[in-house]
Amino acid sequence: MLRGLWESGAKAARRDRHGRLARAKLRHAVMTLLPNQISGGSLLRRHLAHAPVCRKLEVWIPAWPARFDGVRIGHLSDLHVGHLMPAARALEAVELLAQSKPDLLACTGDVVDLEVAGSEPVFRALGSLRAPMGRYFVLGNHDLLDSARRVLRMARSSGLSTLRSEAEVIKGGLRIGGIDWGRTLEDNARSVRTLVRRCAPPHLLLAHNPKAFREAVRHRVPLTLAGHTHGAQFSLMPKFRQRSRSAESRALLAGHYHDGESHLFVTTGVGGWFPLRVNCPAEVVIVTVRRGNARQP
């Protein structure tokens, strides 16, 4: 009986996974392939003509461990290796980040777009990027579509530390935690609570969905890094995102937010869901974390 229930559950999980992938492919056809075809391919050509930029910012956090004042975190998210992001372009983005020589690499998911095949060299590049304090990875929603098991296997074999509601403590006492993709506030809150029960609140939390920040604030996590939103890929006021903003009543779309002594940075990511960005360039990010008052210049 137990074996029958297990097999039934496994089949249901496979059906659900295949259904999610089929729906994602349909959205891709309607939102990406069709507009590009109508434009005669010009949308994709323009999209690929704009290389990612390397954005650099400082975040001042009073609760950040003094021993790690000045640590430089290389933050990269949402590569979406596939039709809109050839592996060669993704490798250029990884190299752009590597040139800034981060102390630590934080990859917050969606390396894969729809299918895992073809993303192998990108995982190898991420796993070999020089980062003395480690290279860390959490799953995004697109990483789950085709085969989360294969994504995790490639990430680990490439040298990435995968964090699934767990944390690692590096030499000197910095706790780096990460959670899997969660769609809702409650999904993310549950994962953060599980992490905290297992390991105590981390100093640095990696999450694909910025909604995890709401629960991170309750546990006084000093810094959360996230992606997922792509910054909507459109912005009417690009400079507005350069300022730190209160997160208490805002949608966590892109840029630096704060709530009390907890801080969040949401990257606009490298890849795209549509072959067009307006005032919202693809980016890799170097976040320099300083211990001190957030109002300091």
Q: DSSP string spanning 88-156?
A: HHHHHHHHHHHTT--SEEEE-S--BSS-STT-HHHHHHHHHS--TT-EEE---TGGGTS-HHHHHHHHH
Give a yes or no: residue 279 inside a domain. Answer: yes
Res 63 pLDDT > 50: yes
Same domain, 36 and 97: no
Same domain, 36 and 130: no
Question: What pLDDT was estimated at residue 16?
Answer: 59
pLDDT (tens digit, 9 = 90+) per residue, 159-194? 999 999 999 999 999 999 999 999 999 999 999 999
Question: What pLDDT was estimated at residue 5?
Answer: 30
User: Residue written as tokens 């070999």?
Assistant: 128
* Lowest-confidence segment of 9-13, 27-31, 186-190, 257-261 by average pLDDT: 9-13
Q: Report helix, strand and coil shares of the chain as percent, to nearest 5.
A: 40, 20, 40
pLDDT (tens digit, 9 = 90+) per residue, 238-297? 655 667 788 876 789 999 999 999 999 999 999 988 888 888 999 999 999 999 985 544
Give a yes or no: residue 123 inside a domain. Answer: yes
Give a yes or no: residue 297 inside a domain. Answer: no
User: Residue written as tokens 């956090």?
Assistant: 61
Question: What pLDDT was estimated at residue 241?
Answer: 60
Residue 63 Cα distances to 223, 278, 293, angstroms: 9, 36, 9
Same domain, 30 and 167: no
Question: What pLDDT was estimated at residue 60?
Answer: 96
Res 236 pLDDT > 90: no
pLDDT (tens digit, 9 = 90+) per residue, 104-157? 999 999 999 999 999 999 999 999 999 999 999 999 999 999 999 999 999 999
Q: What values do phi and psi take at 135, rounded to 5?
A: -125, 125
Question: What pLDDT was estimated at residue 7?
Answer: 43
Same domain, 126 and 225: yes
Contact 29, 273 (CB under 8 A): no
Same domain, 20 and 162: no
Give a yes or no: residue 296 inside a domain. Answer: no
Q: What is the mean pLDDT of residues 205-213?
A: 98
Question: What pLDDT was estimated at residue 26?
Answer: 87
Higher-pLDDT residue of 189, 19: 189
Residue 15 Cα distances to 19, 24, 27, 98, 174, angstroms: 6, 14, 18, 39, 41
Q: How far apart are the first and last CA of the chain?
A: 65
Question: What pLDDT was estimated at residue 36?
Answer: 80
Same domain, 233 and 120: yes
Give a yes or no: residue 108 inside a domain. Answer: yes
Here the tokens at position 175 are: 């706790």
User: Residue written as tokens 């609760």?
Assistant: 63
Same domain, 136 and 219: yes
Q: Can you give the residue range of the structural domain that contains 148?
A: 49-291
Confidence of residue 32 (pLDDT cuts 50, 70, 90): confident
Same domain, 20 and 87: no
Question: How far, rounded to the nearest angstrom, does the alpha carbon of residue 157 sit from its chain's CA centroid?
Answer: 20
CATH of the domain at 129: 3.60.21.10
User: Residue written as tokens 């910012």?
Assistant: 57
User: Residue written as tokens 């630590």?
Assistant: 104
Res 4 pLDDT > 70: no
DSSP state of 239: G
Question: What pLDDT was estimated at residue 278?
Answer: 86
Buried b (16+ CB within 10 A) or exposed e, 196-214: beebebbbbbbbbbbbbbb
Same domain, 163 and 265: yes
Give a yes or no: residue 180 inside a domain. Answer: yes
Domain count, the chain: 2
Same domain, 37 and 129: no
Same domain, 26 and 126: no
Give a yes or no: residue 58 inside a domain. Answer: yes
* Lowest-confidence segment of 76-80, 89-93, 224-228, 273-277 by average pLDDT: 273-277
Question: How far, rounded to the nearest angstrom, does the alpha carbon of residue 282 sit from its chain's CA centroid?
Answer: 13
Which is nearest to 143 in space by CA: 77, 212, 93? 77
Question: What pLDDT was estimated at residue 247?
Answer: 82
Same domain, 31 and 102: no
For the whole prediction, is pTM greater than 0.85?
Answer: yes
Here the tokens at position 191 are: 């994962």
The span from the CA of 29 to the CA of 45, in Å, is 17
Question: What pLDDT was estimated at residue 294?
Answer: 55
Give a yes or no: residue 184 inside a domain. Answer: yes
Q: Is 194 helix (H, G, I), strand (E, B) or coil?
A: helix
| Residue 190: CB atoms within 10 Å | 15
| Residue 236: CB atoms within 10 Å | 7
Confidence of residue 52 (pLDDT cuts 50, 70, 90): very high
What share of the chain has pLDDT > 90, as a percent? 71
Q: Dihedral of the CA atoms 242, 244, 247, 248 (nearest 10)?
A: -130
